[in-house]
Amino acid sequence: MFKIRKLLALVTGKALIALSRALGGQGTNLPGRLASFIYPPLLSELSRNITGACFMVTGTNGKTTTCNLAAAIIREQGFSIVHNQAGANMLAGITTAFIQNSDLLGQRTHDYALLETDEANVAPLLQIIKPRYILITNFFRDQLDRYGELDITVKLISSAVKGTGIELILNADDPLQSNWPSLTGLKCLYYGFDHTAYDNLDSADSRECRYCMLCGHELEYSYYHYAQLGRFQCPHCGHHNQQLDYVGSELSLEDGIAFKIGDLHLESRLQGFYNAYNILAAATLALESGFGKDIIKRAIASHQPAAGRMENFIIGGKQVFLILVKNPTGFDQSLAMLTGDIHTKNIFMALNDNAADGRDISWIWDTQVELLARSEEKITGLICSGQRSGDMALRFKYAGLDTSKIVIEPYLRKAIERTLGLEGQVTYILCTYTALFACRKILLRLRDR
């Protein structure tokens, strides 16, 4: 039966999406929120138009990149997809994605749905949609004031999935996911990396979990890939990494990323170990869902990074990278990549403390900013910007960096212009979430000037 409220919800949602676009905004939550208010069963009904499968992707870091890669594979195969692409990963943002891909009667069908889901939204979303797989990237400390401690996040998700019969695709190198078969009673598939040339035993990365999920004893590691990801075992109860169903091997991080999963050779233009995990996760999801190896290989090879995920601009003939930083592990990974770059570089960091960034900025003290000091001669300047520019400058100072290179300039535009004016060969623009789109706009304007 034709429902007038549903039509009204869809018209309103679509109009708001168009309006927000026209205003150049990223307003991806409001349309979904308002449409659901007008017609509460909207998301549930639209999700029934998916003829193939729904995939849910959650975890702390890498959700957006993993989803973008998986979406590229699905599209490469010629399937249609609903995907909350802009990283609006709360219920409202997911609803907006469905509205955008729907017709006005709410009847258009799609082959797949790929839902990037904020950790706190997994439970409510599971009340509405039952995905074929839930993929988890990793659990790192993120926005403490919003989620509380990590074990609460782990508990939130594991109890939400318990008894659903949904299959899980998990990271075997993350000790926080190692006991999920018994914790959830669900079928769990594991992906992870073999020993790589980049592993270490003594890196002082911010590690989240050094304790056994079963007995609480401190874990022993044979090696770390980075952060708490690696090969571990508990000397007390013997608990260790789950056996790998999909193994990434022969990893190379020189000039992009290359590794193998069995006889599937993957190459990507993305950079850094954290992106290797995102590729491995997306490929695992695709292989498990029956996508062809050639399709996967091609989609990953041609994929370009999205906004703020190492987005690349040429301004004044020089390379500028825009990088979103939101927690200690992500920040450390960016710093590791940056120190691995042999060029001289201008560094900009905007630290905001709005709700979406996390009000508590104490996480900057858990990062390995000291890494920068190792190649300090390659750094022309450290421009600190955003609402908490002073705190960022203080952090750089305590890392032992030359204070004559540290500049505080709270205004983003002035600070970016000042950074680009330095003589480094490459510029890195790092920023927290609420500074990302403003910084991007400034960079685009400077590029087009």
Closest CB to Zn ion among 212 and 310? 212
Asked if 214 touches Zn ion (CB under 5 A), the answer is yes
Name the segment binding Zn ion (CB under 5 A); options: 83-91, 152-160, 214-222, 439-447. Answer: 214-222
Asked if 218 touches Zn ion (CB under 5 A), the answer is no
C-alpha neighbours within 13 Å on the C-beta side of residue 191: 24
Asked if 179 touches Zn ion (CB under 5 A), the answer is no
Q: Are 222 and 234 within 8 A, CB to CB?
A: no
Binder among 237, 342, 355, 444 for Zn ion (CB under 5 A)? 237
Closest CB to Zn ion among 33 and 236? 236
Binder among 236, 269, 397, 413 for Zn ion (CB under 5 A)? 236
Single-letter code of the amino acid located at 342:
I
Name the segment binding Zn ion (CB under 5 A); options: 99-107, 153-161, 211-219, 303-311. Answer: 211-219
User: How far apart are CB 224 and Zn ion at their closest, in Å?
Assistant: 18
Closest CB to Zn ion among 233 and 434? 233
User: How far apart are CB 155 and Zn ion at their closest, in Å?
Assistant: 18
Asked if 204 touches Zn ion (CB under 5 A), the answer is no
Active site residue 360: yes
**Count of residues of this chain found to bind Zn ion when the rule CB under 5 A is applied:** 8
Asked if 270 touches Zn ion (CB under 5 A), the answer is no
**Total residue length of the chain:** 449
Distance of alpha carbon 35 from alpha carbon 31, whole angstroms: 6
Q: Are 400 and 185 within 8 A, CB to CB?
A: no
Selected catalytic residue, list 360, 391, 402, 448 = 360
User: How far apart are CB 215 and Zn ion at their closest, in Å?
Assistant: 3
Asked if 215 touches Zn ion (CB under 5 A), the answer is yes
Single-letter code of the amino acid located at 231:
R
Name the segment binding Zn ion (CB under 5 A); options: 38-46, 85-93, 236-244, 266-274. Answer: 236-244
Closest CB to Zn ion among 71 and 234? 234
Alpha helices in 233-272 (DSSP H): none
User: How far apart are CB 182 and Zn ion at their closest, in Å?
Assistant: 13
Closest CB to Zn ion among 243 and 404? 243
Q: Which residues pair with 376 in a beta bridge?
A: none
DSSP code, position 200: B
CA-based radius of gyration for the chain: 22
Name the segment binding Zn ion (CB under 5 A); options: 69-77, 207-215, 301-309, 356-364. Answer: 207-215
Q: What distance, in Å, lies between the first and last C-alpha atoms of the chain?
A: 54
Name the segment binding Zn ion (CB under 5 A); options: 81-89, 205-213, 296-304, 334-342. Answer: 205-213
Can you tell me whether residue 46 is helix, strand or coil?
helix
Closest CB to Zn ion among 217 and 298? 217
Asked if 211 touches Zn ion (CB under 5 A), the answer is no
Closest CB to Zn ion among 217 and 269? 217
Name the segment binding Zn ion (CB under 5 A); options: 166-174, 228-236, 296-304, 425-433. Answer: 228-236
Asked if 213 touches Zn ion (CB under 5 A), the answer is no
Asked if 234 touches Zn ion (CB under 5 A), the answer is yes
Closest CB to Zn ion among 15 and 237? 237
Asked if 212 touches Zn ion (CB under 5 A), the answer is yes
Q: Among all chains, which residue has been given the structure tokens 């927000």? A: 20
Query: Of 320, 323, 309, 325, whose CA–CA distance to 395 is shortest?
Result: 325
Asked if 240 touches Zn ion (CB under 5 A), the answer is no
Distance of alpha carbon 37 from alpha carbon 65, whole angstroms: 30
Distance of alpha carbon 154 from alpha carbon 197, whole angstroms: 30
Q: Which tokens hold the place of 151?
A: 């074990």
Is the Cα torsion angle 67, 68, 72, 78 positive or negative in sign? positive
Can you tell me whether residue 251 is helix, strand or coil?
strand
User: How far apart are CB 219 and Zn ion at their closest, in Å?
Assistant: 8
User: How far apart are CB 241 and Zn ion at their closest, in Å?
Assistant: 13
Residue 177 backbone dihedrals phi, psi, to 5 degrees:
-115, 5
User: How far apart are CB 232 and Zn ion at their closest, in Å?
Assistant: 10
Distance of alpha carbon 239 from alpha carbon 235, whole angstroms: 8
Q: Which long-range contacts (CB under 8 A, 24 or more apart) does 247-251 make?
A: 247/191, 247/192, 247/193, 247/194, 248/191, 248/192, 248/193, 248/194, 248/276, 248/280, 249/193, 249/194, 250/194, 251/193, 251/194, 251/196, 251/197, 251/198, 251/276
Give the catalytic positions in this structure: 360
**Footprint of Zn ion (CB under 5 A):** 212, 214-215, 217, 234, 236-237, 239
